[in-house]
Structures are given as structure tokens and as C-alpha cells.
Amino acid sequence: MRAMKAGTNLEKVLRSGAFAVTAEIGPPKGAVAAVVKRKADLLKGSCDAYNVTDNQTAIVRMSSLAGCVMLKEAGLDPVMQIVVRDRNRIAIQSDILGAVALGIGNFLCLSGDHQRFGNHPQAKGVFDIESIQLIQTFKNLRDEGRFISGDEISGEMPLFIGAAANPFADPVDFRVARLAKKVRAGADFIQTQAVYDVERFATWMKGVRQLGLHKEVYILAGLIPPKSIGMARYMRDYVPGIHVPDEIIERLENADDVKEEGQKITLELIEALEEIEGLSGIHIMAVGWEEAVPHIVAKAGLLPRPVV
């Protein structure tokens, strides 16, 4: 068994060997704490940990750190997402110190969607360090007790380090190799891009197993429950790196109740994913549709969540 890194609920569930469930909580485009608290109450008990996005798609929202603290207060285990788009190494390391002081233990290292996609396309992109270097930064903070500069940190840094992976981007032959780099850099767990094409995902997982990476890192398959036909089409046509087969779109088009069909598709995906060797769990990104998460997890037979 791998040594305990931060002792968060997510880490304990993964170490127990249970099939883990995480979900994404998008903070509001405003300062109303009640919005986060309402989502926390809605999702509490349905997952093992909850990611708070960091200005996702480069749209300004309440900070990930603030959202994580509110989840923590509500009794949920947060995963703080950090992108390298908006902050340099000084700000990022400072935020990590603050997050640890506030009791946050799970982190997800991301590049971040380019600012061109968001509501401030005129912004200056930072990209001082990049996502794999951010993983290394976390590992150094935790295992060496040192900042990027080499200076020593006072006190313990219990960190459970997450990273993203996209099995569906190009060049396809590099996708497993890139995961291997993230593992070597220090990732403890991986949350993947949304899976709609289980066959392609299974092929990627086969490559992962061939390198034995599934024994070094916990892999959670990403899921985006399709909420509407328009959203599914948008993902297919405009979101780089998400592969939505036409068959999914057709099923939604022919459905009497699109939302129900979207949940049904998600449940079928979960069932198929559970069969894949080496997969440690799922990560549900119900963008703007968080209320669907408890239903999906319940119907998938994944409740109650383990108490560890």
C-alpha cells in the first residue's frame, strides 16, 4: 500500500480500494456564499471529494480557495483546482501555503483554459510554470520541504497531488507517455477529461496498464452528464479534446426527456467504466447541473459512500 500523503477523505477512500466518486462544484459569478453552501448541502454524502474549479474556461468566478474553505466548513472534502494561467510561482506557492493552513489537502494541477476562451480575452496570460512543473512544485513542497527557489518551508505540507489527463487529444501515441511524465513528476491521482467513447478510453487504459502506471497513480475517469442536445453538440463541435460520438447526440435528439436520457447515458458509461481494470473511480463534472450528481451516483449503485 502506498504511504499516506495528506490523509484526506479522498486519499483514504482510494487507498481502501473502493471505487471512488468525485464531483465538480463550480463557484458562482458573484460573492454569494449561499450559492456554494446550497450546492454543498445538495451534494454532501454523494461523493468522496469535490473539486472547486479555478476560473474555469477563463471566466471570472469566486476563487477556488474560498470555495474549498466553504465546502470544508460544510463537512465536505474539497479538491482545490489550480491553474497556471493566472498566477506566477510566487502567487501559486503562497496560495498553497494558505490552503494547507486552512485544512485543504487535495489539489488538482492544471494549465487552465486559454484566456482567449473566457470573458476577459484581453487578459495577460501568466504561464510562468506549466502544469507538470506545478505537480513537481507540489511534490517538492511536500517531500523536500522546499520552495521552487530551494528555500526551506517551515512546517509540514500534507498534500495529495492531482493532475489531469486527456486520453482523447493528439498525438494519440503520446497520451500515455504524457501521463507517465505526470506520474514521474509526482501526481498521486488523475482525473481525466470527459469520457464518452469508452472503447477509446479502454485502449488508453490498456497502454496505462502496460506501463504499470495504474499501480503508481489512482485514475478517475471524467464524466460530463449531457444536460441538453445543444450542450452535447457544442462539446462535440467546439471543445477541443472532448470526443462526443454522434451516437450520443442522436440518442439525445430522439429522447422524450433529454435530461433523463443524459443521466441514462452517464449511467451506462459508469457501468462500462467499472469493468476497466486499473480504474480507481469516476469524476463527475455536471457543469451547471450539480443537482443531477446525487441521482446519478445513487442510480449507479455507488451509495452509500464508504466511511474511512
Partner 1 sequence: MITGKQKALSEVARMATPYKRVLVLGCGTCTTICFAGGQKEAAEMASSLRLLGQNEKRRQVFSEHTVRRQCEWEYLDEIAPLLKETDAIVSLSCGVGAQALAERFPEISILPGLDTCFMGLPQEPGVWIERCLACGDCIIDTTAGICPITRCAKGLLNGPCGGSVDGQCEISADIPCAWQLIHDRLASQGLLSRLDELPPVRDWSTSHSGGPRRIVRQDLKVKKAP
Which one of residues 66, 97, 103, 117 is an interface residue with partner 1 (CB under 8 A)? Answer: 117
The reply to whether 90 sits near partner 1 by the rule CB under 8 A is no
Q: Are 43 and 25 in contact (CB under 8 A)?
A: yes
Helix 64-73 vs helix 33-43: crossing angle, to nearest 10: 50
> Interaction with partner 1 in 193-252: which residues (CB under 8 A)?
193, 240-241
At residue 106, the 3 state secondary structure works out as strand
Tell me the CB-side half-sphere exposure of residue 192, using CA atoms within 13 A.
33
Which one of residues 12, 15, 39, 85 is an interface residue with partner 1 (CB under 8 A)? Answer: 85
Residue with smaller CB distance to partner 1, 93 or 263: 93
Which one of residues 97, 180, 255, 272 is an interface residue with partner 1 (CB under 8 A)? Answer: 180
Q: Are 164 and 131 in contact (CB under 8 A)?
A: yes
**Distance of alpha carbon 240 from its chain centroid, rounded?**
17
Closest distance of CB 51 from partner 1, Å: 16
Which one of residues 71, 161, 185, 270 is an interface residue with partner 1 (CB under 8 A)? Answer: 185
The amino acid that residue 62 corresponds to is: M
**For partner 1, which stretch binds (CB under 8 A), given 27-35, 100-108, 109-117, 261-269?**
109-117
Is the alpha carbon torsion for 146, 147, 150, 152 positive or negative? negative
Q: Are 102 and 67 in contact (CB under 8 A)?
A: no
Percent composition of the chain: helix, strand, coil (DSSP 3-state, to 5):
45, 15, 40
Closest distance of CB 217 from partner 1, Å: 16
Residue with smaller CB distance to partner 1, 179 or 258: 179
Query: How many Å apart are CA 94 and CA 99, to the nearest integer?
Result: 9
Which one of residues 129, 161, 231, 248 is an interface residue with partner 1 (CB under 8 A)? Answer: 129
**For partner 1, which stretch binds (CB under 8 A), given 49-57, 120-128, 250-258, 264-272?**
120-128
**Residue numbers at the binding site for partner 1 (CB under 8 A):** 84-85, 89, 111-114, 116-117, 125, 127-133, 136-137, 148, 164-166, 168-171, 174, 177-178, 180-181, 184-185, 193, 240-241
